[in-house]
Each structure stands twice: as structure tokens, then as C-alpha cells.
Chains A and B, each alone.
Chain A
Amino acid sequence: MTAQADDELWSAIADPSRRRVLDLLVSNDDVSASWLAGRVPFSRQAVSKHLAVLEQAGLVSRRKQGREVLYQVEAGRLDQATRAMADLAAQWDRRLGAIKRLAEAAHAQATKSEGSHTSAQGDRHDG
């Protein structure tokens, strides 16, 4: 189940523009908002907003160098986020596997009873 902290992570990452900013930060450490704004198709103001959301979610951190504010990705937190995504995918794979087994077993049984007896109790086939 999704905890509140995960929700924050997820919605921070779900936005494609923020993903773009995050991507740039993953491959370039210690960069400024203006540097980022020069590499994305949206305004400097939008970049700052995205950075604030990412920072809130713990995915990036900032530090001051002289008069500049530099941003960097928080690898541990990003790792946690990607792991959460991978876990969720794995969870659905397990569920789909179980559905497959159940449905195939039910089908095999129905086919078998159709072969020997025409109407098995409680298993109607209309039309």
C-alpha cells in the first residue's frame, strides 16, 4: 500500500517536465536553475517550481556556492523511488501469474468435465 511519503515521491516523478529536470540532474551534478532552464523547453520560473517540488520530495538538494545556488540529485531517495516502481511492477507480475494459473486450471477442469459428462453441477454454459 502506498504511504504518504511514497505519494509525494510518485507525484514528484510522475510529471514529465519534472522528470526532464530530474534527468538533467542525474547526469549533471551541481548545476544552477538557469543552467537547467537553458536545456528544457519551459521557463526558468517553471524550472524553479519543479525544483521546489523535487526538493520537497527529497529527490534533490541544494547548496550555495558564492552567489549561486546549485542543485544535485539525492541518489538514495531516487533509488528508493525507482525501487518502489519496480516493486509495484513485480507485485503485478506475481498477481498476473496467479490469475493465469487459476484461469488455466479452471479452464482445464471445465474442458475435462465437458468431455466426460455433459453438464457438471454448478458450471453452466448458456448459448
Chain B
Amino acid sequence: MADLVIEREVLIEAPVEVVWRTITEPDQMSQWFADRVDLVVEPGAHGFMGFGDQGGPVVVETVDPPVRFSFRWNHPRGEEPVAGNSMLVEFTLTPEGAGRTRLRVSESGHELRAWPDAEKQRYAGEHQAGWAEYLDRLASVLAKPSR
């Protein structure tokens, strides 16, 4: 769980297979994600996600049922998404006892993937408390009278 910009998780009272279907079946995806999901869940498949009158291309990266599903998006139209020009969204499903699943999602971007491991580790270490701390400090900066 290193090298990430955003990482969130939730504990679900349903077995992994059910959670897997919820996150990977297009008609299910359209209920929690985009308004329009035009996607075949196969590695390398190109699809589209529509949000209202906006949207963009999506490329599936990993499909490893029922534990891992990832795709890239936010890359420039007409370009193939790679580490440097896109955001990677990764879902990880972990069974927690009988009939429970821990679902973790991460969205990481841009140069993060290309970092050497030492840098990633350092970032991960800073990252845990990082943003909350940042917001605190930021608040104190903002509280300063402006010149």
C-alpha cells in the first residue's frame, strides 16, 4: 500500500464473489459509478464512462477475479494510457471471515508509478498523516492576516 495518492476502504457484509460482481458488471457499475458504462471487463479492453454530458475513455488493466480489478483513466483522448499520462484506479477485495469483504480502492497518478522504491516508501510514510496534517497547517496559514 505504498505509492498512492488516495486510498479508501470499506467493509461489506457480503462475500467477495458478490462484491466482485458489483464492481465489475457494467449494469452494476452504472449504479455506483458512471451514468453510462460501456466496458468489457477484460485486460486491455478499451471502454468509455459517461458522467452526464461528460465522460472519457477507460482502459482495463488487471482483471483477477475475485480479488483485483484495475483500470486507467483521465488520459488524453486519442492517447494510450500509460503511467505518465493517466490515473490508475485499483480495487482490491479481501475476504474477512465468513461472508464479509474488505474492499479497498486506490487512485494513483502520474509520476507516482515511476518513482524508485525508496521514494515511494518515503512518500507512503509521509502520506498516512500527510493530508490531514497539511490541511491543519494550511488552516493556520490561511488564518494569518494577508499582506
Contacts and interface: CB of A to CB of B under 8 A. Distances in A.
Interface in A1-52: 1-2, 7, 10-11, 14-16, 19, 23, 26-27
Chain B interface size band reads 35 or more
B137 A89 contact: no
Q: How large is the interface on A (under 10, 10 to 19, 20 to 34, 35 or more residues)?
A: 35 or more
A110 interface: yes
A95 B135 contact: no
Contacts of A102: 22, 28, 31-32
A113 interface: no
Interface in A78-127: 78-79, 82, 85-86, 88-89, 92-93, 95-100, 102-104, 106-107, 110
11 contacts: A1-B56, A10-B5, A19-B123, A26-B138, A75-B141, A93-B8, A95-B105, A96-B10, A98-B31, A103-B14, A107-B18
Interface of A: 1-2, 7, 10-11, 14-16, 19, 23, 26-27, 73, 75, 78-79, 82, 85-86, 88-89, 92-93, 95-100, 102-104, 106-107, 110
